[in-house]
Amino acid sequence: MDDAEIIPIGTRGRPGRGTGQRPSAAARSLAGKSGKPAPKPAPKSGPQPGPTSGPQSAEPSEPIASPQPVEPVEQEQVEPAAPYGPATTHERSPLGGIPAGDWVAAFDTAAREVFGEEWEPQLARLLAFLRRRVSGDYVVDEYGFDAELTQRFFLAVLRPIAEKWFRVEVFGAENIPATGGALVVSNHSGTVPVDGLMTMVSIHDHTGRALRPLGADLVFKLPFVSSLARKAGATLACAEDAERMLRGGELVGVWPEGFKGIGKPYSDRYKLQRFGRGGFVSAALRTGVPIVPLSVVGAEEIYPLVGNIPSLARALGLPYLPITPFFPLLGPLGLIPLPSKWLLEFGEPIRTDEFEPGAADDPMLVFNVTDQVRETIQQTLYALLMKRSSVFA
Amino acid sequence: MGAAGRVVLVTGVSRDLGRKFARAAAEHPRVARVIGVDVVPPRGDVGGMSFVRADIRNPVIAKVIAKEDVDTVVHMSVISTPGSTGGRNMMKELNVIGTMQLLAACQKAPSVQNLVVKSTTTVYGASNRDPAMFTEDMEPRRAPRSGYAKDVAEIEGYVRGFARRRPDVNVTLLRCANVIGPSVVSPLASYLRMPAIPTVLGFDPRLQVLHERDLLGVLGHAVSAGRPGTYNIAGDGVLTLSQIVRRLQRPTVPLPGFALGGLGGALRSARIADFSPEMRSLLTYGRGVDTTRMKDELGFTPRYTTAEALDDFAANVVPTGGRTDRLLARLEERLAERTALPEAPRG
């Protein structure tokens, strides 16, 4: 050991950042806990091909700690190898794992790289979030809605699609009540219910409220789709759930055209289908919440449905099996939606609290309100189509 | 219900929950006697209960009720799995015929004034067409065609018939969610005790549970309060299965739905767990029940929420997983130590 000429980069086996004088704060806390310094440097400064990676991984932190000249690699190689020898590396089997201390040190460096100097509080928040998720310590409501996951993950994934791919433009967002129950009624199109997802993102970003979609029973039968749908706030489109949610003051979204609307051929685009049996109007009447009509232009063009294979669809238990100009032809590539320009317009809310108490049981009144909503959406669709200069503009 | 106190007859005392309830009821100051009835003697401490070895499937039970002057009958011997009793036929015999005989005996006994039947939320079934929360007025979306769910549906039918024929009797039907607790042996509890939990691939059911103490509490409350009606009984809140296994720190084995059935057969023969068809549909679609009526009309509030009941259960289950959580916890600890230190050494 030639002490005079060596300014060590390594730590001589002690945990530390490489001054060789006094270990860093992180290193001290490491040393306090684990209490077995010997095995730790061993995998890093392993005898043979190891060293090249060992010192390199130590270097990035070096300038931060103290701007020392970087020593030639050979010295580094000799120095820590001498006192401990290669023996420890042999004891540890390759599958024995990396000690937790090393993980922490590596994580430490990485965190600084990723989060910058203010990384500690940021990382603490991220860790707290991850731990909450991993230990199951989060809340879902009675419908299975996981607000945290939806906001932090689902909407974050959908947002760029809405903003960059479809360039969604929203009009009349002020028509959505800021509080209390309300029923958003929308036209349905696009072969795959992308319009529902885009509506969820747009409503959340414009009003901060979570849209609770009502889905067909098929949604809750399909694996993966069903668990995602419940976590994102959906529930089954049935009178019980709709009324329960509206009474609970939620903003509920409904697509009364159902499969008739979403699976209609491209030639029928922007022609509203029958609005179910008016169940959504009864639910709104019973709970006295306003109906907000929503017209979506753009969703029709994402997967232009030009054909259908009814026999195969029946065999698979699906309402339709779409053929688009690209879908079976280009394989998975055909699943990419066309980047049409989307316009969303929320109309004036239709009040339902002025009717008499028994109004929901008056079929004629229910049909009238249904037609009123349908007509509003249809007229707005025409107006929006006039506004849009071309499909992809 | 005179000054002498009440005489309570409890069926199904050979099982743990029945025995515990009978024991607790015997200690109640307003209860004079508790008579436990079962075909097998109970194991463990029976306290002040007097045990009568009788089969509720034959008319002997009528004699017991008449002789002891029973005024309150608590029917707890509806079993959810064949278990040790034998096959499915035996189970159906015990559940349905037993209930019929018991109700027939009660109808003939003028002394009977209260009937409490422990039913289950399984009666609502579980399917993709279910509303999120079942209220007591809702029917299952598909009528059960076999198994436990059908037994329970039939039993409830007989109980309603009895309530019509004896309007003077307070009939309380308690539809309890799956009961769990540190010592409970039930299909859900043994499922959650498995070292690795098989789940249905792509589904994350919502579940509600009831703590065993709350089950005993609500039975006692129903006996003393005398509020006739049908009530859903469950802890507040719902948890998804993925949340439950994370809280229990157990690894999961996601299997496609059909494979779970095959596995269920193997596990049943190995006596580890039982995947009845009802259990499978519960683990696929989940179920929630609305407990507003329990709180407002029955006047009972469970002490444990679903999450708290599960935490109590988890405290007695040795975790077999949870590595990620431990790693994150260690990281968090380090981070806390680090931020606690002065900033200078980082310089």
pLDDT for res A30: 67
The answer to whether the beta carbons of residues B28 and B94 sit under 8 Å apart is no
Does A238 sit within 8 Å of B129, measured CB to CB? yes
Q: Where are the alpha helices (DSSP H) in A116-231?
A: 119-134, 147-149, 155-160, 194-207, 225-231
Q: Is B297 helix (H, G, I), strand (E, B) or coil?
A: helix
What's the N-to-C CA distance of chain A in angstroms?
74
Question: Hey, is the C-beta of B197 within 8 angstroms of any chain A C-beta?
Answer: no
Name the band, by pLDDT with cuts 50, 70 and 90, for residue B58: confident
Q: Which amino acid is at A234?
A: A
Of the two residues B228 and B56, the one the predictor is more confident about is B228
Q: What is the pTM of this model?
A: 0.80
The DSSP bridge partners found for residue A186 are A294
Structure confidence at residue A77 (pLDDT):
45
Q: Do B201 and A223 touch (CB under 8 A)?
A: yes
Q: What is the pLDDT of residue A56?
A: 44
Instruction: Provide the pairing of β-strand A307-308 with A322-323.
Output: antiparallel
A 10 A CB-CB count for B185 gives 14
State whether A120 and B200 contact (CB < 8 Å): no
Within 49-88 of A, beta carbons closer than 8 Å to B belong to 65
Non-local (6+) Cβ contacts of A332 within 8 A are none
| A106 in reach of chain B (CB within 8 A) | no
- Cβ A240–B339 below 8 Å, yes or no? no
| Per-residue pLDDT, B37 | 92
Does the beta-carbon distance from B128 to A220 stay under 8 Å? Answer: yes
Query: How does pLDDT run across B258-280, given as a tens digit for each residue?
Result: 888 788 778 777 777 778 888 88
Residue from B290, B334, B341, B343 to probe the interface with A (highest A Cβ count within 10 Å): B334
Q: Are A89 and A42 in contact (CB under 8 A)?
A: yes
- C-alpha A110/C-alpha A108 separation (Å) is 5
**HEC letters along B123-191:** HHCCCCCCCCCECCCCCCCCCCCCHHHHHHHHHHHHHHHHHHHCCCCEEEEEEECEEECCCCCCHHHHH
Sequence-distant (6+) residues with CB within 8 A of A324 are A191, A303, A304, A305, A306, A334
pLDDT tier at B179, thresholds 50, 70, 90: very high
The per-type count for chain B, helices as H runs and strands as E runs, is 13, 13
Question: d(Cα B257, Cα B238) in Å, to the nearest integer?
Answer: 22
pLDDT digits (tens, 9 = 90+) for A338-364: 999 999 999 999 999 898 888 889 999
- From the list A144, A223, A225, the residue facing B240 with the nearest CB is A144
Q: Does B167 touch chain A (CB under 8 A)?
A: no
Q: Residues of A with CB below 8 A from B334's CB?
A: 26, 29-30, 104
Backbone φ/ψ region at B27: left (φ over 0), alpha (ψ -120 to 50), beta: alpha
Do the bridges between strand A182-186 and strand A251-254 make them parallel or antiparallel, or are there none, so unpaired? parallel
Q: How confident is the model at residue B181 (pLDDT cuts 50, 70, 90)?
A: very high
B335 in contact with chain A, both atoms CB, cutoff 8 A: yes
A326 interface with B at CB cutoff 8 Å: no
Which of A131, A217, A227 shows the shortest C-beta gap to B328? A131
The SS3 call for residue A128 is helix
User: Which DSSP symbol is given to A184?
Assistant: E
Q: How near does any CA of chain A get to the CA of B345, in Å?
A: 6
What percentage of chain B exceeds 90 in pLDDT?
Answer: 61
Closest CA to A392 of A292, A298, A265, A276: A298
Distance CA B220, CA B72 (A): 11
CB-based contacts of B304, cutoff 8 Å, min separation 6? B210, B211, B213, B214, B235, B312
Convert the pLDDT of each residue in A76-132 to its tens digit. Answer: 444 444 455 454 555 556 556 777 788 778 877 887 787 777 777 888 888 888 988
- Contact by Cβ (8 Å): A2, A12: no
Work out the number of other CB atoms within 10 angstroms of the CB of residue A143: 23
Q: Which residues contact B284 (CB under 8 A, 6 or more apart)?
A: B126, B200, B203, B205, B257
- DSSP assignment of A215-276 equals E-TTTTTSTTHHHHHHHTT-EE-SHHHHHHHHHTT-EEEE-TTTHHHHT--GGGTT-----T
pLDDT band (50, 70, 90) for residue B232: very high
- Among A109-118, A382-391, B134-143, B243-252, name the one with the lowest average pLDDT: A109-118
| CA-wise closest residue to A261 among A211, A189, A320, A315 | A189
Q: How many CA atoms lie less than 13 Å away from B297 in the CB half-sphere?
A: 15
pLDDT at site A38? 46
DSSP B18-78: HHHHHHHHHTSTTEEEEEEEESSPPPS--TTPEEEE--TTSTHHHHHHHHHT--EEEE---
A:B CB pairs within 8 Å: 131
**d(Cα A364, Cα A267) in Å, to the nearest integer?**
32
- What is the mean predicted confidence (pLDDT) over B95-105? 92
Among A232, A245, A235, smallest CA distance to A199 is for: A232
Q: What is the spatial distance between Cα A16 and Cα A25, in angstroms, rounded to a whole number?
A: 8
Nearby residues of A231 by Cβ (< 8 Å), 6 or more positions away: A140, A144, A145, A146, A149, A150, A154, B204, B240
Give the per-residue pLDDT at A33. Answer: 54
Q: Which residue among B129, B135, B200 places its CB closest to the CB of A236?
A: B129
Per-chain mean pLDDT for chain B: 88
CB atoms within 10 A of CB A195: 25
Task: Answer whether B87's CB lies under 8 Å from B129's CB.
Answer: no
Going by C-alpha positions, the residue among B109, B102, B140, B106 that lies closest to residue B123 is B140
Residue in chain A closest to B334 (alpha carbons) equals A29
The model's confidence at residue B318, banded by pLDDT at 50, 70 and 90, is confident
User: Does residue B211 belong to the interface with chain A, where contact is any CB pair within 8 Å?
Assistant: no
Under 8 Å between Cβ of A142 and B239:
no
- Beta-carbon-side half-sphere exposure of residue B54 (alpha carbons within 13 Å): 22
| Per-residue H/E/C for A46-112 | CCCCHHHHHHHHHHHHHHHHCCCCCCCHHHHHHHHHHHHCCHHHHHCCCCCCCCHHHHHHHHHHHHH
Q: How far is CA B279 from CA A176, A209, B80, B121, B273, in A?
A: 42, 36, 10, 12, 11
Distance (Å, rounded) from C-alpha B331 to C-alpha A217?
A: 43
CA distance B119 to A16: 64
Question: Please, what are the domains in chain A?
Answer: 100-135 (no CATH), 147-302+337-387 (3.40.1130.10)
Closest CA in chain B for residue A100: B327
Tens-level pLDDT at each residue, chain A (393 residues)? 555 676 666 666 665 555 556 666 766 676 655 444 444 444 444 444 434 444 444 444 444 444 444 444 444 444 444 455 454 555 556 556 777 788 778 877 887 787 777 777 888 888 888 988 988 899 999 999 999 999 999 999 999 999 999 999 999 999 999 999 999 999 999 999 999 999 999 999 999 999 999 999 999 999 999 999 999 999 999 999 999 999 999 999 999 999 999 999 999 999 999 998 889 999 999 999 999 999 999 999 999 999 888 899 999 888 998 898 888 888 888 889 999 999 999 999 999 989 888 888 999 999 999 999 999 999 999 999 999 988 887
Report residue B141's pLDDT band, with 50, 70 and 90 as the boundaries.
confident
* Secondary structure (3-state) at A308: strand
Looking at chain B, the whole-number percentage of residues with pLDDT higher than 70 is 95
Are A131 and B329 within 8 A, CB to CB?
A: yes
Q: Give the whole-angstrom CA distance, residue B76 versus residue B155.
A: 12
What's the token pair of residue A271? Answer: 């022609």
- Closest CA of chain A from B26, distance in Å: 37
**Cβ–Cβ of B335/A120 closer than 8 Å?**
yes
Over residues B294-298, the mean pLDDT reads: 95
CA distance A156 to chain B (A): 22
Q: Inform me whether the C-beta atom of residue B246 falls under 8 Å from chain A C-beta atoms.
A: yes
For A121, nearest residue in chain B (alpha carbons) = B339
